[in-house]
Structure 1
């Protein structure tokens, strides 16, 4: 965390750069032709299924499409990325994120946080307790004895005010003082922008009127083979991290940083996600697979900190950030029919992975971890990049 000139800079969250082109304009141009992306999205998602009134606010599905054919569909319910269409090595558009067909399904199903904006605090807080500004607070407990992804009233279940202007979607939400047990009125703005050079940026800003903690991210579930088409065990992954944070049986950090060398957590060279996931290892047992924060090597954001690839589609995803941590989750709690997704596809065990750029879990209770405190007068800003290529 860095503060300069009264501005707090935290670079995390997600931005997606999609490098691949499909023929077709971004919108109708008078020739009667729709884009490939628009057709693909329409076939899989009915916008009317995302129209509802939740907590007194209207929900809707917004689709941003650029002139090269890439598209992203987002609902203001939780600010969720519902669909992300990118071209594979043959030029075919592939949806690479998990999601549901309707806003009601997001409400009814067990919450895997598909594509959601995560806040106020991404990841876990031990027993939901933390001290800030000399006062101890109790956040909602929703993961055993701990708080996960903001608690029961996390941003994943909130309806954001939305305003679309061309290829930009602005989402705003004001979390009142005490919501979920967190201090301060927190005003959050999330901006999704799909540019004509195939970049989808997700920028976060936040301000508070009382000292508080903030750790925002996005919880997109990726399968570069295509959402719901297989497990992700054959997807390869490289992470530029020489250390990771061990956790106890409740997935709370022990406070130590362990070298990855000689462990199943060594992704410094690309390997299939499934290569070591079944090995006998206490940390893999605790997480039921990978569900750990990697301590990223120092970088300036110009080089990827993670690279994933599908040998099936040829789609490669590069992740850029200057955040200190990356939570790698291998979809260990997806349970097939319980999480039936778009097109009626069952999202089975390990059918997706998450790469969440963020600060460390339980940082408020770990003095050696980077601070996530935000004070009045400071501005929180977070942004990262996910870059897609096809080979």
Structure 2
């Protein structure tokens, strides 16, 4: 199993692993030094035993499929049940648990690695074979590009994401509560009490999910609204405002010390904001364990 390191002249450095096509580490320049901004484990064995999808590419379908039932063209497929009564992140051996094949590639934007794998027909219960790839490219100014491709040989479902947890304060900051966030989303995905989508989209107006105005993550986490208390924090699909320009900035997060900011651009219609509500006990660098809210994910 191979690992890869992407570096820039600024000192920015990304480390990647074939297991799960995982983003293991990301150091970015801050002042006259470098800051680690991605949570990670010490060893491959730790990545294999952790249950938080740390830094991995998850699929075929990220997040939850109710009761594992997937309907395509009048046919209902039964996906693997691995999260209570439901299907999560492609199953027990989803893409984040598989070994991908990585190779260095040329890209004018900077050093780049492409990971590929073929998911066979029936894997996790999904129909059809699926050839997938993800490119990681480290550009100037510590810009990290992630680009996904998928080709199927039969009608199927695919919804890939990277599940990195970020803490822009560095490894000494124990939680993400003092990060300041903005997300340009005016609707969110309605879910039932088990976080299964109903198919409805609701307005964020008047809810703690209205992040169009900058706020501390911690201020949202103490909300008594059931949207927050039912899932112990943020774990919501936020749908970007209609009429936005493709690949414009959709989210911004600023470190507690104000010295580092993360900007997110995408051509996708939404993101899932997760504040690591159940990270407690996940193996951490240095032989310890992460606590709840140690980092946030923008899936």
TM-score under structure 2 normalisation?
Answer: 0.94
Measure how far apart 1:313 and its partner are: 5.5
Q: State the match for 1:285 in structure 2.
A: 229
Could you say what secondary structure the match of 1:306 adopts? Answer: strand
Q: 1:73 aligns with which of 15, 18, 22?
A: 15
Larger radius of gyration: 1
Q: 2:287 aligns with which of 344, 349, 367?
A: 344
Q: 1:101 aligns with which of 34, 37, 42?
A: 42
Distance, in Å, in 1 between the alignment partners of 2:295 and 2:143 is 22
Distance, in Å, in 2 between the alignment partners of 1:172 and 1:165 is 12
Distance, in Å, in 2 between the alignment partners of 1:228 and 1:173 is 36
Distance, in Å, in 2 between the alignment partners of 1:225 and 1:196 is 21
- Give 1:237-316 correspondences, 5 Å limit: 237-298=181-242, 299-312=244-257, 314-316=259-261
Could you say what secondary structure the match of 1:276 adopts? Answer: helix
Distance, in Å, in 2 between the alignment partners of 1:224 and 1:346 is 18
Q: 1:132 aligns with which of 64, 72, 76?
A: 72
CA contact (8 A) 2:5 2:13 kept: yes
CA contact (8 A) 2:223 2:229 kept: no
Distance, in Å, in 2 between the alignment partners of 1:142 and 1:343 is 30
- Change in Cα spacing, 1:142 to 1:227, as seen in structure 2 (3 Å) is farther
- Give 1:1-391 correspondences, 5 Å limit: 59-88=1-30, 90-109=31-50, 111-165=51-105, 167-196=111-140, 198-227=142-171, 229-298=173-242, 299-312=244-257, 314-335=259-280, 338-356=281-299
Stretches of 4+ aligned residues off by more than 4 angstroms? none
Could you say what secondary structure the match of 1:292 adopts? Answer: strand
Measure how far apart 1:276 and its partner are: 2.5
Deviation sequence 1:240-288 (CA, Å, 0-9, x none):
1111123222111233222212111111100000113122111112211
Deviation sequence 1:291-330 (CA, Å, 0-9, x none):
0001111322343111100122611001111311110001
Measure how far apart 1:147 and its partner are: 0.8
CA contact (8 A) 2:22 2:54 kept: yes
Deviation sequence 1:344-364 (CA, Å, 0-9, x none):
3431110100111xxxxxxxx
Could you say what secondary structure the match of 1:229 adopts? Answer: coil
Could you say what secondary structure the match of 2:48 adopts? Answer: helix
- Unmatched tracts of structure 2, length 5 or more: none
CA contact (8 A) 1:248 1:286 kept: no
Q: CA RMSD in A?
A: 1.5
Number of aligned residue pairs: 294
Measure how far apart 1:62 and its partner are: 0.9
- Change in Cα spacing, 1:96 to 1:198, as seen in structure 2 (3 Å) is closer
Could you say what secondary structure the match of 1:254 adopts? Answer: strand
Distance, in Å, in 2 between the alignment partners of 1:196 and 1:321 is 18
